[in-house]
Amino acid sequence: MHPTLLLGLDGATFTILDPLMENGTMPFLRGLVDRGVQAELMSTSNPLTPPAWISMITGRNPGNHGVFDFIWADQHKADPYFTLYNFRDIRCETIWSMVSRQNGRAGTLNYTMMSPPPVINGYVLPGLVAWKHMRRNIFPRELYEELKEQPFFNVKELAWDFELEKKAEQGIQKEEYRNWVSFHIRRERQWFDVMTFLMKNHPCDLTAILFDGADKIFHMGWRFLDPSSPVDEFDEWELEIRELCLDFFRALDGFLQGIVELAGPQARVFMASDHGFGPSWFVFRVNAWLHEHGYLTWKNLENLAENEREKAKKVVEKHFVLLDWDKTTAYARSVTSNGIFIRKAQNPGENGVPMEEYEAFRRKLTEELLAIREPISGKPIIKKIMTREEAYPGAHNDQAPDLTLVMADYGFISIMNKSPIIARRPEIVGTHYPEGIFLAHGPGIRQNERLDPLSIMDVTPILLYSLGLDIPSDLEGRLPEDIFTKDFIADHPPRVGEPTLVPDTLLPEEKKQQSEEDNGEQQIFEQMRALGYIE
C-alpha cells in the first residue's frame, strides 16, 4: 500500500489561510499548496463537527451514517432524554475498518466520536474525551502505558482543559486570552509529539490526525484574524492578541511540516477541514418565536412534584429545552442542530401533528419562517430551509430535524426563552460556514492547481484510491480523478469493490443506560457550552 496521510484541520477556511500564506505566517502550507492541488470542501447540510467528520471518514451523508449533532435524543419518545453521540451510533463503516479489512494498517488521532474505540488493525486515540477517561478509550490499551513513559506525554494537555474551557463559558476576560491561545498551542504540540512517536514506532499505511485548535481560536477570536477587521484601529491589547493568534498558526505550520517531512517524499498528503468559518452578527431565538406563534409551550416547573422538579433542574442546567410536550408541536432541540423538530402523533388521539396533516404543517411552518425579516435591514434572516429528506437523504434520517435552517449569516440558532427574538450580537463572532478546505500533495498528484469544490464525502474514496485499495460500491462520495495526473490514473485505474459492512448499533434503551454510566459526559457538555454549542 502507498503511505497516505490525512491531516484534519477543524474549522480551517481559505478565508483565513490564504492571507496567512501570503503574509509569510504559514510558509510550509504555502509551499504545499504550490506543489499540489487545492479546492473548497463543501460540508454537510448543517456544517457541524460530528456529522461532518463522520461523513469525511465514511463517505456517506448523515442520513446514512446516522450522526446529526453532538446531542442525541430519541425522536419518538413522548419526553425525550438527552445524551451524546459516540462511536456506537455510527451506522456506516469507517475508513479505518475499510483499510483494516483490506489488510492495511490505520492510525487515527483526536478524531471526533472515536470512543469507545473500535477494534482495528492499527491504533485509535480518540478526541472529545476527558483526560480521566483517556486510558480506557485508547486502542490498543497497552499503547497508553507506552505513551505515558515518554517524556513529552501530558495527558491533561492532550485532552481538553475543562477548567479553562469553563471560564470561556461566560466569555473570555482580557487577561485570559493569552492563556487560552497558549494552551491550544501546547495542546497541538502534544498531538504532534504523539503522532511523530507513533509514526516512528508504529507505522501505518493510513495515518490520520485531527488538529482542532483552529476551530477554538476562530470561535473565540474571529475578529482578531478576520481580513476585514480594521487592524490599524486595534488598540495595544487587540494587537497583542492578534499576534498570539498568528503564533498559533505559525506553530501549526511547523507541526504540519514536521509530520509531512517525517512521512517522507513518497507519502501522499491530504489535508481537509470539516467546515469553514466566517462572521455571525445576529442570533435568532427559534423557540421563543415558536412559542409566540403557538407551536411551543414551556413547562411550568412550579406544577411539578419535588422529585420531578429536581430532574427538570438537571435538564435546565444542561441548557436543553424544557417543554410541555402535550402542548408543543414544533421545537428546536439544540443550538448546534440548527433544526426544528415536529412532534408527530403516531396514533389517532395522541398529542402532536396528525400524520395526515404533517406535510401541510411542515410547509406552513417553512413559509412563516422564511418570511421573518431582520428589523434593522429588513432582509430575510433565513437563507434556506431544508426538509429532512432534502438535507439528509438516507435510511437513518428518522432522528434528523424535520426542518434544517440555514441562517443568513450561517450562525447558530438560540433555543432559549429570551427576548428579543432577533438580537444583534454585541460584537461579531466566528461561526461555521459550509466551505471547508481540501489540499493534496505527493506522487501522482497535479501541481499548483485549484479545482472546483469537492464534497466532504469524497475524502474517503480519495484516501482509499491513494492507498491502492478498492473503493466500496455503496459510497456516496466520488473519486475526483482530476486531483491526479492523467498518466497516474491511466497507470492506476480505480477499482470498485464490495459494499461496506454494516456495523452493530445501539438500541435506544441501551443508549440510555450507557449514557447514565458515563460519568465523563458532563465535562464534555461544559466544553460544548464554552464554545457556544450549548447556551
Count the neighbouring beta carbons within 10 Å of the beta carbon of residue 34.
12
Which domain-ending residue is among 428, 457, 472? 428
- Alpha carbons 38 and 452: distance in angstroms, whole number: 9
Q: Which three cell numbers stand for residue 155?
A: 495527558
Quick check: 407 pLDDT over 90? yes
Full domain range(s) for residue 449: 4-275+434-530
- How high is the pLDDT of residue 76? 57
CB 213 within 8 A of CB 150: no
Range with the lowest mean pLDDT among 45-49, 199-203, 422-426?
422-426
- How high is the pLDDT of residue 513? 47
For the chain, what is the domain count? 2
Quick check: 88 pLDDT over 70? yes
Considering the domain architecture, whether residues 394 and 478 belong to the same structural domain is answered as no
- How high is the pLDDT of residue 508? 47
Please state the rounded mean pLDDT for residues 190-209: 97
Q: CA distances (Å), 198 to each of 104, 144, 272, in order?
A: 16, 12, 21
Residues contacting 90, CB < 8 A, separation 6+: 54, 58, 65, 66, 67, 113, 503
- Alpha carbons 394 and 358: distance in angstroms, whole number: 20
- How high is the pLDDT of residue 314? 63
- pLDDT band (50, 70, 90) for residue 510: very low
- pLDDT band (50, 70, 90) for residue 456: very high
pTM of the model: 0.91
CB 129 within 8 A of CB 137: yes
Please state the rounded mean pLDDT for residues 27-46: 97
Quick check: 511 pLDDT over 90? no
Residues, the chain: 535
Cis preceding linkage at 116, omega within 30: yes
Sign of the torsion angle spanned by Cα atoms 223, 224, 229, 232: positive
CB 344 within 8 A of CB 351: no
Alpha helices in 122-161 (DSSP H): 142-148, 155-158
* CATH number for 463: 3.40.720.10
- pLDDT band (50, 70, 90) for residue 130: confident
**Is residue 286 domain-resident?**
yes
Quick check: 498 pLDDT over 50? yes
Considering the domain architecture, whether residues 70 and 184 belong to the same structural domain is answered as yes
- pLDDT band (50, 70, 90) for residue 9: very high
Which domain-ending residue is among 401, 428, 455? 428
Considering the domain architecture, whether residues 405 and 439 belong to the same structural domain is answered as no
* 236-263 and 27-34 helices, crossing angle to 10°: 50
Beta bridge partners of 431: 278
> Tens of pLDDT along 230-263?
999 999 999 999 999 999 999 999 999 999 999 9
Please state the rounded mean pLDDT for residues 158-168: 58
Considering the domain architecture, whether residues 251 and 396 belong to the same structural domain is answered as no
φ, ψ (nearest 5 deg) of residue 345: -80, 110
φ, ψ (nearest 5 deg) of residue 201: -105, -20
- How high is the pLDDT of residue 55? 98
Quick check: 325 pLDDT over 60? yes
Considering the domain architecture, whether residues 502 and 520 belong to the same structural domain is answered as yes
Average pLDDT, the chain: 89
